[in-house]
Structures are given as C-alpha cells and as structure tokens.
Amino acid sequence: MMPAILVLGTFVVLPILYAVFLSLHKVQLLGGIEYQFIGLGNFTRLLEDERVWIALKNTAEYVAIVVPSQTILALILAVTLNSGIRGQNWWRILFFLPTVTSSAVLTLIFMWIYNTDGLLNDFLAAVGLPRYNWLGDPGVALKGIMIMNIWSTAPFYMVIYLAALQDIPQSLYEAAELDGANGWQKFIHVTIPIIHPVTFFVVAMGVIGTFQLFDQSYIFSGGTGGPNNATLTVVLLIYQAVFRNLQMGYAAAIAFLLAAIIIAIALIQRRIFGGDRL
C-alpha cells in the first residue's frame, strides 16, 4: 500500500494541508514569498465581498438549471437509443460527439454562433428579425453557457443511463405487461425505480462538475466574468484572486467555501436519494 499512500499524500493530502495554511495567512508573492498570519481574516472578508455573492448566485443558478436539464435529456436519449431504433449505433456516435470534443473548441464554436455576425443572428436576419448582442447582454450570457453545457454533457450521462437500462431484466417488463401496464407505466414503475442509484450518481457528478464551471466562463468573458459579472463563477473568482490580484490566501478561503457547499449539497442529495440504501 505504500506507493498508493505516497501518491495520495503527495498529490492530495499535502495540497489540502497547504491550502488550509494559505487560507489562514496573507501571502505576499512579489519580492519573495512572505506569510502573515491573519487567522480567519480571509473568511471574514468573504462575507463582505460583493463579488463572492454574485459568483455564488451565478453558480447556483447555473447548477439549478443545468443539472436537472442534462439529467432529463440524458435519460430521454438513453431510453430512445435503448428502444431499438434503426441505426442506433450511428445515433450513439452522433449523440456522443459533443462529449469527446474539447470544451475550449466547443466554447469557441458557440461564441461564433452567439456573435453579432454569427450563425444565430444570421438566422434571425433571414426570417426578418433584428440581430441581437447575445454575448453582451448580462441577462442572456450565462444562459448561453448553460445551453452549450447541457448539449455537450448530456451525452456522457446518456452512456451511463444506457448501460443501466440494458442491465434491467426483460422479465420485469414482461411481468408488468401481464399485470396490464402500458409503456408509460412500465417506465414509471419499473425503469425509474431500478435506475434510482444511477440517477443519484448522475446528479451527484453533475452537481460537482457544474459547481466547478471555469473554462467556458473564462473564454466567454475573456477572464473578466462579464458582461457586468453575469458569467462570474466561484472558480473563475478563485482564478482572478490568484493570478490577477496575487491573493493566494483569499483564493484558498474561497476554495474552501466552494468545497463546503459541494459537500453539503452532496450530503443532502444522499439523504434525498436514500444513499444509505444504494
């Protein structure tokens, strides 16, 4: 076990301990690294920082919309592919393409679609509607990222659901048919309960992934979180604190806030989905 313990200690435990150390200090990076102990000062500052609350609000809105949407879409796609449609292997490849494509490339493609002279505005102009500044509107910018990520991440969870659906014994559906169940009743009373543990996994992974949104927000806004902080997320705020403001201690405090939120939500999900029985 020693090699595994050394790897975990070096790349997991030590970084966490160092992050705890940083969160309790004001770190001076210029002219040599200096540490000034300030106790819980960084955490107290979180409560007074307006941008932290904006980032939390944006991230929470993003999670609340993207996770249910991608979960439902993934289940619909999996059920469709599991129904025996013609050319299902080709459909699987087609559906899965967004997942294997680089998120940076997908972001650039969607930026071109949303651009003032992009595909979406060209379509609006073709049907006689005015062009719109999708990337410059604070009320729309984050929604654009949501649409892109729902489309690109749902196929990954689709594969997980598809594997679960194919493991369900056909005898259960046959027994339901003998009891007079129609297709919808079989789906609600047979399929959904059996894939319950898979749904817990999909939702849990979706929440963890969406709370860590960074690259798309960074590329969309050029690292600023604009327009008007509309695409500012917690992880992007951590990046700005470290690489723009050189405040490593404060960034570590924000990171622990994010970790605490994710852990709390994961525990709530476990209670809701009956994780102890999974």
pLDDT tens-digit series, residues 41-81:
999 999 999 999 999 999 999 999 999 999 999 999 999 98
Contact 144, 110 (CB under 8 A): yes
Structure tokens at 265: 């939500």
Contact 148, 105 (CB under 8 A): no
Least confident of 90-94, 113-117, 165-169, 206-210: 90-94
Angle value at C-alpha 187, between 181 and 191, nearest 5 degrees: 115
What is the per-residue pLDDT across 24-42, written as a single tens digit (0 to 9) for each?
A: 999 888 777 889 999 999 9
pLDDT score for 277: 52
Question: Per-residue confidence at 276, pLDDT binned at 50, 70, 90?
Answer: low
Question: Per-residue confidence at 274, pLDDT binned at 50, 70, 90?
Answer: low
Contact 94, 86 (CB under 8 A): no
What is the per-residue pLDDT across 161-200, written as a single tens digit (0 to 9) for each?
A: 999 999 999 899 889 998 888 989 999 999 999 999 999 9
pLDDT score for 181: 87
Which residue segments constitute the domains of the chain, with CATH numbers given? 49-113+140-277 (1.10.3720.10)
